[in-house]
């Protein structure tokens, strides 16, 4: 861009701002703001509205919660289970890892999960090559792992299968 074009754009912007001020009046200044001040936590001042628990909701602390139920959330890429907790408004969307952890300790039937106490803790995970805040779901150590149901062998199995 040539210097004349840059100067022309600055003049056009100044005219636009003057017209805006004339139409709408002067914009109020932000009370207490100085250009050098920047001690604003954007997450605290403008929290993300979500029906589901986010890592930011934990505020860097662990939370012990009791499972009260499981619902289903509809997403563009399919339905996902959501763990609900006693006394909490927000649920936790379950990814494959969290589902697997709950299944390992409490079995595949989600009715068996209700009333179980779990710990949610803030963490970090690699999401598409970028480290991203996440929520870790931990089971208390006194929960015994549920054995996988034994597969029934067919009675007429063939020992001569070539593999």
pLDDT in tens, 22-77: 666 666 555 655 555 556 676 666 666 778 998 988 999 999 999 999 999 888 88
pLDDT tens readout for residues 86-102: 999 999 999 999 999 99
pLDDT single digits (tens) 100-147: 999 999 999 999 999 999 999 999 999 889 999 999 999 986 655 555
In the prediction, which pLDDT does 11 show?
A: 72
Q: Which uninterrupted H or E stretch holds 80?
A: strand 78-85
Q: Domain 48-139 carries which CATH code? A: 2.40.50
The CA-atom distances, in angstroms, between 62 and each of 67, 75, 142 are: 15, 27, 18
Domain ranges of the chain: 48-139
The model's confidence at residue 14, banded by pLDDT at 50, 70 and 90, is: confident
Work out the burial of residue 120: count CB atoms within 10 Å of its CB; fewer than 13 is exposed, 13-18 middle, 19 or more buried.
Answer: buried
Kindly write down the DSSP assignment for every residue of 98-122, as one continuous string. Answer: HHHHHHHHH-S-GGGGTT-EEEEEE
Please tell me the predicted confidence (pLDDT) of residue 5. Answer: 66
């Amino acid at each position: 861009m040539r210097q004349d074009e840059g100067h022309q754009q600055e003049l056009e912007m100044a005219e636009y701002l003057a017209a805006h001020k004339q139409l709408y009046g002067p914009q109020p200044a932000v009370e207490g703001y100085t250009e050098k001040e920047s001690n604003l936590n954007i997450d605290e001042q403008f929290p993300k509205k979500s029906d589901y628990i986010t890592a930011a909701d934990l505020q860097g602390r662990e939370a012990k919660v009791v499972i009260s139920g499981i619902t289903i959330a509809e997403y563009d890429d399919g339905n996902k289970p959501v763990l609900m907790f006693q006394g909490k408004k927000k649920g936790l969307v379950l990814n494959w890892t969290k589902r697997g952890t709950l299944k390992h300790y409490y079995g595949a039937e989600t009715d068996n999960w209700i009333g179980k106490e779990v710990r949610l803790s803030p963490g970090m995970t690699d999401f598409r090559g970028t480290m991203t805040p996440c929520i870790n779901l931990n089971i208390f150590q006194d929960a015994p792992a549920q054995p996988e149901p034994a597969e029934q062998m067919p009675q007429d199995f063939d020992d001569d299968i070539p593999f």
